[in-house]
Amino acid sequence: DTEVTQTPKHLVMGMTNKKSLKCEQHMGHRAMYWYKQKAKKPPELMFVYSYEKLSINESVPSRFSPECPNSSLLNLHLHALQPEDSALYLCASSHPGVPGYTFGSGTRLTVV
């Protein structure tokens, strides 16, 4: 298995909703990442987990809450989002000592 799987592929949520994005990999990678990508822009790093511990939080608002329950799974919990949070959310993973990521295909999030 050489993939990073993200679900759902599309999500529409209201500003008062609570939802979660899920990311899964079975490549034995011990670092996992959440990125946010707006249209026609490069991905922006949100969070980094290393060995299931949060190692980088790029000053992301608290309405985004990451969770890494085990070495294969990464979640992003969403609550009280704003329309400007609408974007493509990308998950990625990497192997210790090997530069470079494997990206998932992303979740297209629309906040209404």
Q: Indicate whether 47 belongs to the interface with other proteins (CB under 8 A).
A: no
Min dist CB 55 to other proteins, Å, is: 5
17, 20, 72, 102: residue in contact with other proteins (rule CB under 8 A):
102
Question: Would you list the DSSP string of 12-38?
Answer: EE-TT-EEEEEEEE-S---EEEEEEE-
DSSP state of 98: -
Cα–Cα distance, 96 to 90 (Å, whole number): 20
CB of 80 to other proteins, least distance (A): 26
List contacts with other proteins (CB under 8 A).
4, 6, 31, 40-43, 45, 48-50, 55-56, 90, 94, 96-106, 108
